[in-house]
Amino acid sequence: MKTNILYIHGFNGNSQGGTYQALKEFSSRISKCTLHTFQFEKLHTDVPATQRKIEEICREKDINLLVGASLGGFYALVARIPVRKIAINPCMIPSVEIPLLKDRATGEAITLLPSVISNFKKLESYDIYSSAYGIFGKQDETFHFDENHNFSPLFQRIFHSQKKNFVLIDGKHSLEQDELEKGFFPALDYFGIKHE
């Protein structure tokens, strides 16, 4: 069976960035595999439009594996299409996490419109995710587990040891290629996707 992958970049990310380049190398080790990506300009400003675009690409390219990093991981997890999903350091609750970020160019806090926050919140129940695998960097600076940002219950509901559908690896939010490799190939094994 052919593996068609769609990579979804993160907030302020680049569809051709480091994670994509690593996935490009990894996908060359999968028989009959094609890797697709797209620059999602409205990732944090228009949630419904981003969802529609992801679904449109999935239909057009016959995508059967979504791979998303950070905010792209969130979109992969909540995608309304029945495909396998790999979330790399996903932004679990964007309505909370994105406003904590600073604009790289200005240093100012990121502001989301109330409608965008509302659209994110509708999806943060994770009622529509399907078969998913998570890759988490142990030193991910955006994945908080304090009293104000405790994602443990949500994490445990989606990723728990009984399903063995996640891996914790050494690494920060932006994983290096060798770190990502330690999670990506176990994810393929989890889904029964053959590779070298």
What's the pLDDT at 116?
A: 96
Outline where DSSP puts E strands in the chain.
3-8, 33-37, 65-69, 84-88, 132-137, 166-169
Beta bridge partners of 33: 3
Residue 46: other Cβ atoms inside 10 A = 17
How many angstroms separate the CA atoms of 95 and 93, rounded?
Answer: 6
What is residue 140's predicted lDDT score, i.e. its pLDDT?
Answer: 83
Q: What is the mean pLDDT of the chain?
A: 89
d(CA 191, CA 134): 12
pLDDT at 45: 94
Please give the pLDDT value at position 161. Answer: 59
pLDDT mean by block of 10 residues, the chain; 196 residues? 95 93 96 96 95 97 97 94 93 89 84 95 76 88 60 71 80 92 95 92
pLDDT at position 150: 58
**Cβ count within 10 A of residue 79:** 24
Q: Provide the pLDDT for residue 149.
A: 59
